Amino acid sequence: METIKVVIADDERYSRDELKHLLSEFSSIQIIGEADTGEAAVMKTLQLQPDVVFLDVEMPKMNGMEAAKSLMELKKVPLIVFATAYPQFAAEAFRYEAIDYILKPYDEEQLKQTVQRMEKLLIQAKSSEKSTTPGKLALEVEGEIIYLEPKDILYMYRDEKVTKIITRTKSFDTKTPLKDLESRLGPYCFFRIHKSYLVNLDYVAKLTPWFNGAYQLELEGTEEMLSVSRNYVKSLRERLEI
């Protein structure tokens, strides 16, 4: 089992420390962040992309239920476990597809069952993801079919009726529309920064303010600066965990 990345959200430090201690007994668990409000829990989730978020119900500013509602709207929704002293909110919690509802003081056997459920669900998700992930990108180039490793592509852009694909070693021209390539590359880390440009976020090196709300993007492996339309800046910054 790969490491399960966890964020713990609870306004009481003692409760966070207790849960951290209990979860540390499981080799599959890695605590990557903490939050003391529901609002902070959502921000930490955006920044750290955990697999699981443990949420207390009663927290200031934004309570656990409100935080769960916000988490459900994210592009990558984490598993949600409510960890609280209030049993009366259990029915409401499962409206947000919580995988478990554990009560303080924590019962070690129940927590063990929760972790086992987390592991099972994440293994199933990984298996499903692998089964739908294409191996290579097939392209028609000058009458031939070539196969590219998506991880080798730096970026691609549309130039009139041709899509130009820039890899780490060479470039290719294809008539395949950029929109079609974007759809086929969905399982990979590609992002549209302009109506005519699609970049591999794994190669992002620097994002620099330009003018009128636009930015310039620098990628590893190329000296060319790519323009980021201001319409895409906010979403790009969120994807880059800024």
Of 51-55, 74-78, 128-132, give the lowest mean pLDDT range: 128-132
> DSSP string covering 204-234, please?
EEEEEE-STT-EEEEETT--PEEEE-HHHHH
Q: Is the pLDDT of residue 197 over 90?
A: yes
Mean pLDDT of 226-238: 85
What is the structure's pLDDT at 233? 85
pTM: predicted TM-score of the whole model, two decimal places: 0.56
CA distance linking residue 72 with residue 165, whole number of Å: 35
Mean pLDDT of 40-49: 92
Q: Is the pLDDT of residue 147 over 70?
A: yes
When pLDDT is cut at 50, 70 and 90, the band that residue 65 belongs to is very high
Mean pLDDT of 87-103: 91
Q: How many CA atoms lie within 13 A of 110 on its CB side?
A: 13
Q: Is the pLDDT of residue 135 over 80?
A: no
When pLDDT is cut at 50, 70 and 90, the band that residue 237 belongs to is confident
When pLDDT is cut at 50, 70 and 90, the band that residue 130 belongs to is low
**Percent above pLDDT 90 for the chain:** 53
**Percent above pLDDT 70 for the chain:** 95
Q: Which candidate, 92, 96, 60, 57, places its Cα nearest to that of 77?
A: 96
When pLDDT is cut at 50, 70 and 90, the band that residue 137 belongs to is confident
CA distance linking residue 38 with residue 167, whole number of Å: 42
Contact between 15 and 57 (Cβ < 8 Å): no
- Scored b (16 or more CB within 10 A) or e, 76-97 reads eebbbbbbbeeeebeeebeebe
Per the listing, tokens 């459920």 go with 117
Three-state DSSP state, 110: helix
The enclosing H or E element of 35 equals strand 29-35
What is the structure's pLDDT at 127? 65
Residue type (1 letter), 98:
A
Of 2-11, 82-91, 183-192, give the lowest mean pLDDT range: 183-192
Q: Which candidate, 93, 21, 26, places its Cα nearest to that of 56?
A: 93
When pLDDT is cut at 50, 70 and 90, the band that residue 21 belongs to is very high
